[in-house]
A and B are shown apart, each in its own frame.
Chain A
Amino acid sequence: MCKGMEVKICLIGMGNVGTSFLKLLKEKRENIVDKFNFTTKLVAIFEHDGALINSNGIDIDNLLRDYSNLRKNQYWKSNVKAQDLISKLEIDICIETTPTNPDTGEPGLTHILEALSNNIDVISSNKAPFYLQYDKIKNLADKMGCLVKFEATVASGVPALSIKHNLIGNTISRIRAILTGTSNYILSRMTAEGVSFSVALKEAQELGYAETDPILDINGYDAAGKLVILSNELLGWSKSIEDVNIKGITEITPQALDLAKLDGYVIKHLAIAENDILLVEPRLIKRDSPLNVQGTLNIIELQTKYAGSIIILGKGAGGFEAGAAILNDLISIVKERERINRKRS
């Protein structure tokens, strides 16, 4: 797929994540050439109402100087859709970062399937296609001999999925995690200050930690989606979001948190994969548990057969965090393609 050392990419969705990725790509351009011996050529950027297409390569430096003027660029084409043009463009890797419809996975799902059908490797930061249609995507990728990576879908820049490559000699028996910064922030504030759920939520919204419509975070659906991806990737399961028993945190009261403290506990919104069961629910955990992280942090604990508990912790959201995960996936795919090509020759 990679022709020489020039990799042709397209970006679908130039929101916060897509833009952050391009900024990182620009910043690390020389480093990528020096360390990994390849350059990238961005041949298309798709938005919901059109696309910027230039087969000679879009000037990223120029674009990033004022990307609000995307639609005034001479190469802009209105009313074209990614799914109609992916097959017509010469692309090695398609990077999908459009906003997700949590119930259908669209339009990301269609973009991903279309790219794979056309023999294009895929990187995505979209959760929904993977927690809804994991098997379909993976099977198609296998059938077409394509690579598909989606590190940014779980805990953003935290290497929650790629850690599996470092644990191939081990066995993971259980995952326990906090995968939603919003609900962790709310519970942390309620515990520390004794404020009500609604006050803590309002504070989270004012600080930009919670969406204007936070329902997917506080009802556990967002964490459930990430748990599905984690368990499928790390435990080799084949689950979708319908398989998760989900409870949110709206029923948690300051009184319940006070009672938990009496016995040395705190309440955390945990995502658990164990014994073929997936759960997202508020749980009592000991105050000195490593899972008792504060604020918007995400944490993932992998219980392993041969190395005990392994914990990864970090910021689970943010444009640059996701952008860095995408860049990591990009480098991984190019290296893997090189290895495959070497093997073939």
Chain B
Amino acid sequence: MIYLEVKLPDIPGSLIELIRPVSLHGGNIYGVLHHHDKKVKNMIPVDIWFELSEELIQISLENIKKDLIEKNIQITKISVGSKNKILTFILTGHVFDTDITDTIKRLDAKNIKVLELHAKFTEVDEISSVIMKVEFPEVMTKIELVNEIEKICEEKKLFLIRS
């Protein structure tokens, strides 16, 4: 997650000027906070937080900064990834016969916390599917996380579809 604090002039359209480069360079915007109460000399502090593809984070962030500077938008603070990261994935196969509790515990042992789990069943003998949202530590890369899940999938013959 990227947290960006800027100062925008209190004029129509200025928020769009902030959002456009973030979106253009692949930012998935989670929230925007407009601090009207903290307006000084017609400038309003604005916080925006968004996600960037982990692999492209440096390039994309540099591009966003460059675009904002070109638009004379004053950046007051940037912080990257102060929270744990989240990945959503689906497992298909004999998810329950192979002990879903064990799967969750094994992820937990690697500090990967399951935040949400939804399941779809058909017949008892048929394969089922679960979608899981997990939180993983800042120090762990997405590739490392996927490797951990894939180890379990290989052993339990489950099929992984990740975001």
Contact = CB atoms under 8 A, between A and B. Distances in A.
A227 to B, nearest CB: 17
Nearest to A267: B161
A111 B53 CA distance: 43
Interface stretch (A119-127, A230-238, A256-264): A256-264
Given A253-B92, A282-B161, A284-B161, A259 B129 contact: yes
Contacts of B130: 259
Contacts of A305: 59, 63
Given A274-B55, A308-B26, A263 B133 contact: yes
A338 to B, nearest CB: 38
Contacts of B121: 255
A267 B56 CA distance: 22
B88 A284 contact: yes
Contacts of A284: 88-90, 161-163
Main secondary structure, interface of B, reads: strand
Contact of B92 (A173, A252, A283): A252
Nearest to B116: A263
Contacts of A247: 159
B88 A255 contact: no
A259 B91 CA distance: 10
Given A283-B161, A284-B89, A259 B63 contact: no
Interface string B90-128: 101100000000000000000000000011111000011
B156 interface: no
Given A256-B92, A282-B161, A303 B120 contact: no
Contacts of B53: 174, 303
A283 B88 CA distance: 10
B153 to A, nearest CB: 11
Interface string A182-215: 0000000000000000000000000000000000
Interface in A275-299: 275, 281-286
A66 to B, nearest CB: 50
A251 interface: yes
B92 A258 contact: no
Interface of A: 173-174, 247, 251-253, 255-256, 258-260, 262-263, 265, 267, 274-275, 281-286, 303, 305-306, 308-309
A205 B20 CA distance: 43
Contact of B129 (A255, A281, A303, A306): A255
Contacts of B163: 265, 283-285
Contacts of B90: 256, 259-260, 267, 284
Contacts of A174: 53, 55-56
Nearest to B66: A306
B75 interface: no
B90 to A, nearest CB: 5
B69 interface: no
B63 A283 contact: no
Interface string B119-160: 111100001111101000000000000000000000000010
Given A253-B129, A255-B129, A303 B122 contact: no
Nearest to A249: B161
B55 A265 contact: no
B88 A263 contact: yes
A255 B91 CA distance: 11
B65 interface: no
Nearest to A282: B161
Contacts of B56: 173-174, 303
Contacts of A173: 56, 59
A308 B59 contact: no
A251 B92 contact: yes
Contacts of A306: 63
Q: Which of B28, B93, B131, B162 has the most CB of A within 10 A?
A: B131
B55 A283 contact: no
A251 B159 contact: yes
